[in-house]
Amino acid sequence: MNRTIDYYTELAQRGLQPSVQRVRILEFLHANRIHPTAEQIWLRLSPGMPTLSRTTVYNTLKLFAEAGIVQTLVIEEKEMRFDIDTSHHGHFSCDRCGTVFDFTASALSGAVPSELDGFEIRERHLYYKGLCRECRTKERRKG
Amino acid sequence: MNRTIDYYTELAQRGLQPSVQRVRILEFLHANRIHPTAEQIWLRLSPGMPTLSRTTVYNTLKLFAEAGIVQTLVIEEKEMRFDIDTSHHGHFSCDRCGTVFDFTASALSGAVPSELDGFEIRERHLYYKGLCRECRTKERRKG
DNA sequence: TTACAATTCTGTAATCATTCCAAATTGTCA
DNA sequence: TGACAATTTGGAATGATTACAGAATTGTAA
Ligand SMILES: [Mn+2]
Ligand SMILES: [Mn+2]
Ligand SMILES: [Zn+2]
Ligand SMILES: [Zn+2]
């Protein structure tokens, strides 16, 4: 089982040229389901690809988003996150540790309120914010 | 009926000093339910208050958010919007004209999925993106 | 009122994620 | 191999937001 080949062909089948950079970024997204930012991806890949440019990471993620390979999450101001899981699900962002958790959300698949009759809905997002279980425990210990 | 006095006392009751700038910004938010950005508020208020600083608008909105007077919306990357309506409701953002619409969303009041047992939920947001009715019509005409 | 401290406001500089852009590199195919 | 197109690179530009330090305003007590 050669993952690199898998992702190489996945890109080719979608009509995207499977450059080394694109395959590595796609690999990273599949292997690290952490809703990373562009910067996080660059930080993790650049040791193994010293010439990798931040701009390439940004360009590639934009390309992937347009091709429907990833969905973009805007939860915190300023930083965009990328999710290789494009299915309908909700996100919980911890204010303390910054982790973004997935959760099942039937609300995203149900009917649209009549107030939006005639609107064309292209994306639906549900996100919660607060403290994750671990961080909540830690906060309690401190008081 | 003197709105200025109303908002003056509203701030005072919340323990916030009702400065001229704060009252004007609060007035604006009540009168213009457009989920404005800080920049929009500044652009609309500065003609009548030539010395108003952008920084003051940002500081005041942060203060209002901490006091629970407004809720902050992060829908588009980079720009934060402010909503004087802090009740649970969903938002639809039009990709074409940028307008942010409200809609009723029972999903925001319901039960939390068991995946988030033990989590402390502080905020819930539901937002859709796409084309509003008007923009959809315009797009169709063009083909 | 007056004086002084505390709070608020102002304007410029700094920050930082993202985008722009032109040059360099790589891929395609005759 | 040679030409042309697509992709990558890295440094500069952008733009919303924040930091900061001095100026203005307000509150308080004599
Ligand atoms: Mn996810
Ligand atoms: Mn609203
Ligand atoms: Zn946490
Ligand atoms: Zn529209």
Contacts 24+ apart (CB under 8 A), B55-61: B56/B21, B57/B25, B60/B21, B60/B22, B60/B25, B61/B25
**Chain A residue with Cα closest to B100:** A116
Cβ atoms of A131 and B120 within 8 Å: the answer is yes
Q: Chain D: nucleotides under 7 Å from a protein CB?
A: 6-11, 15-20, 26-27
pLDDT of residue A110: 83
Give B128's pLDDT tier (boundaries 50, 70, 90).
very high
pLDDT of residue A5: 61
Distance CA B47, CA B90 (A): 32
Closest-CA distance, B4 to chain A, in angstroms, reads 32
Compute φ and ψ for B103, nearest 5 degrees.
-150, 155
Nucleotide with minimal C1' distance from the CA of A39 is: C17
Give B41's pLDDT tier (boundaries 50, 70, 90).
very high
Residue A66 has pLDDT above 90, yes or no: yes
Average pLDDT, chain A: 94
CA–C1' gap, B90 and D30, in angstroms? 56
CA–C1' gap, B25 and D24, in angstroms? 20
Distance CA A59, CA B104 (A): 36
Question: A43: Cβ under 7 Å from strand C?
Answer: no
pLDDT of residue A119: 97
Query: Helix A3-13 crosses helix A20-31 at what angle (to 10 degrees)?
Result: 110
Mean pLDDT (whole number) for A116-142: 94
pLDDT of residue A6: 87
Q: Where are the alpha helices (DSSP H) in B48-130?
A: 54-67
CB atoms within 10 A of CB A137: 11
Average pLDDT, chain B: 94
pLDDT of residue B3: 55
Q: How far is CA B46 from CA B1, B42, B57, B80, in A?
A: 25, 6, 10, 19
Residue A79 has pLDDT above 90, yes or no: yes
